Chains A and B, each alone.
Chain A
């Protein structure tokens, strides 16, 4: 057991260096210095308090989404529809905010309501994918993907249709909400401690659900062997749906925070690909909820660190995505090699 864990760690380390090596090769191929690129990324992410705050802004939705995905992964489900669930969260939140924007209700209450509205909308969207899977036999990957496209269309429809800005509708999104409806931010920085706290609480809750509750144990049983779980008396389809609902609610919260703490309006690309990135983080941490925190932070740092690459080195900022993807790819491959060639202990 210990030995297998050790060999797993060694192989992950190998994967990490292979990924770095591979990306370095790509950089050399385009005539850039890998050393400079990595240095700039490091500088761009933790070089100053301001930059690190940006990393945290990116970390919050990523961690929330990952937390949700850990639940669906544990239930053996590929909730690719998580992108759409983030979007619906943002839409739900925007909807609630619009309802109350001219009312006399206290802004704090409105914000809380709107976040819950976003979570409910995200959960509802996830329930669609879940119902298609459990009652319709539609694989959650395809149901989810389809719903992702529908959600994007819905956003655009709202931005260009019923919720369009005074004057001319544009890709820049809906009319920004007044400042009182924004989650308070740390002075001079864009990060809101509130959203950081929400994300932290979410991952802790997921950690405890998976580690310490009967509910989590049942979810895991369903994910590992749905037949046996059913025979043991677990109503498996209900638990599949629950896991969709939880993941959808957390993804919805991510979308809600994008509206209330970051953009203060609905924009077309509100999900910013955090759903897909979260899937990668969840894959990488392999059901270990606590590890989601450093890995999500690392991925967020890569995201932010690469923003300045176009200016500094004339490199596209998608380098971060390449590095993230290659890293997960090599982890998967080395794990396969380990299983095939290293005798299990």
Chain B
């Protein structure tokens, strides 16, 4: 493989990761506030379809992306209402929405199947795109890819560097402590769930108006992306930088699968494409195993120095979710 194709391939990885990044960061924001939005898989499909449909009908890419964000926000609003106001199980409501939105996408998208519509074009950035290697890699992308770079940075900046972002961390960690510091916990949870939903809703049009332009119904190949994004959220440890790394890693592994296919003719492409999954399970295992009771008991039986070392090791590996994730907040 020469350098040219390698660069094109890697640039493709950056583009393919963009929608995943939107979804993962949207979920990260929502979960940082304490709300799991499990509807993601359905939301991505529904927004991909509706984004494409709107862009096709109005011939406006902007309206297509906007439609995706609005629908993503609306679905998230249902999750927020059911879990925050009605105190129903976030898992149940999210799961049902995941399935319903998926079927709704297939149902409503029927007339748009296979039609060719508008799509984003590559937008090389003057000057920057001329830089060797870096230029073709980063700066000859579609607009959505540039936006994904910005969103990673903004999300990271917001969570870790701004005042409201600090409060967001607090709300997901210990709502009571955030409350005594002046946060209106439940209102903020609504706000972040809806904003997160809008970001997830950006993922769909990024597929249907860019990375995988068009709407192909059940063979769009988008079913499952949302579940992948959920695992990457955990892998990312609720940190936008680590989450972006996870998204790129995933997109890279998928690309690698395609590249290796001619070499490994024995292995069907679908197998290579799910190769990240056993890895993902292994990662989740490593970040979670410290919580298991048998580990605790085994540790107690060890001599003091080993105990301290092991405890430290497990602690370093683990990615702690926001402590109040999924826990309703009441003032008293």
- By a beta-carbon cutoff of 8 Å, the part of chain A in contact with chain B is 26, 30, 78, 80, 132, 134-139, 141-143, 145-147, 149-150, 152-154, 156-157, 160-161, 276-277, 279-280, 283, 310, 314-316, 318-322, 324-326, 328-329, 332-333, 335-337, 339-340
Q: Which residues of A contact B273 (CB under 8 A)?
A: 153
Task: Assess whether A153 is in contact with B270, with CB atoms less than 8 Å apart.
Answer: yes
Task: Assess whether B106 is in contact with A316, with CB atoms less than 8 Å apart.
Answer: yes
Residue total for B at the interface (Cβ-Cβ under 8 A): 51
> Smallest Cβ distance from A127 to chain B, in angstroms?
14
User: Contacts A147-B281, A336-B87: A135 and B292 contacting too (C-beta < 8 A)?
Assistant: yes
Q: Which residues of B contact A333 (CB under 8 A)?
A: 82, 86, 88
Whether, in the assembled complex, B231 has its beta carbon less than 8 Å from a beta carbon of chain A, the answer is: yes
The contact of A138 among B38, B87, B95, B284, by CB within 8 Å, is B284
Enumerate B89-107 residues with CB–CB distance to A below 8 Å.
91-93, 95-97, 99-104, 106-107
Task: Assess whether B289 is in contact with A78, with CB atoms less than 8 Å apart.
Answer: no
Q: How far is the CA of A255 from the CA of B100 in the complex (A)?
A: 24
Q: Could you tell me the dominant secondary structure of chain A's interface residues? A: helix
User: Contacts A30-B108, A336-B82: A156 and B100 contacting too (C-beta < 8 A)?
Assistant: no
User: Contacts A325-B100, A336-B87: A146 and B278 contacting too (C-beta < 8 A)?
Assistant: yes
Whether, in the assembled complex, B290 has its beta carbon less than 8 Å from a beta carbon of chain A, the answer is: yes
Q: How far is the CA of A325 from the CA of B78 in the complex (A)?
A: 14
Additional A-B contact list (8), CB under 8 Å, known A143-B284, A322-B104, A340-B85: A80-B95, A136-B288, A153-B271, A276-B99, A310-B110, A321-B99, A321-B103, A324-B100
The contact of A146 among B102, B268, B280, by CB within 8 Å, is B280
Q: How far is the CA of A138 from the CA of B78 in the complex (A)?
A: 27
User: Contacts A30-B108, A336-B87: A145 and B92 contacting too (C-beta < 8 A)?
Assistant: no
User: Contacts A322-B107, A333-B82: A161 and B96 contacting too (C-beta < 8 A)?
Assistant: no
Task: Assess whether B281 is in contact with A318, with CB atoms less than 8 Å apart.
Answer: no
Q: Which residues of B contact A280 (CB under 8 A)?
A: 96, 99
Enumerate B253-279 residues with CB–CB distance to A below 8 Å.
266-268, 270-271, 273-274, 277-278
The contact of B231 among A142, A156, A310, by CB within 8 Å, is A142
Chain A residue with minimal CB distance to B281?
A: A146
Q: Which residues of B contact A132 (CB under 8 A)?
A: 281, 284-285
Q: Which residues of A contact B278 (CB under 8 A)?
A: 146, 150
Whether, in the assembled complex, B234 has its beta carbon less than 8 Å from a beta carbon of chain A, the answer is: yes
0/1 interface trace, chain B 59-86, chain A, CB 8 Å (1 if under): 0000000000000000000100010011
> Smallest Cβ distance from A58 to chain B, in angstroms?
16
Q: Which residues of A contact B290 (CB under 8 A)?
A: 137
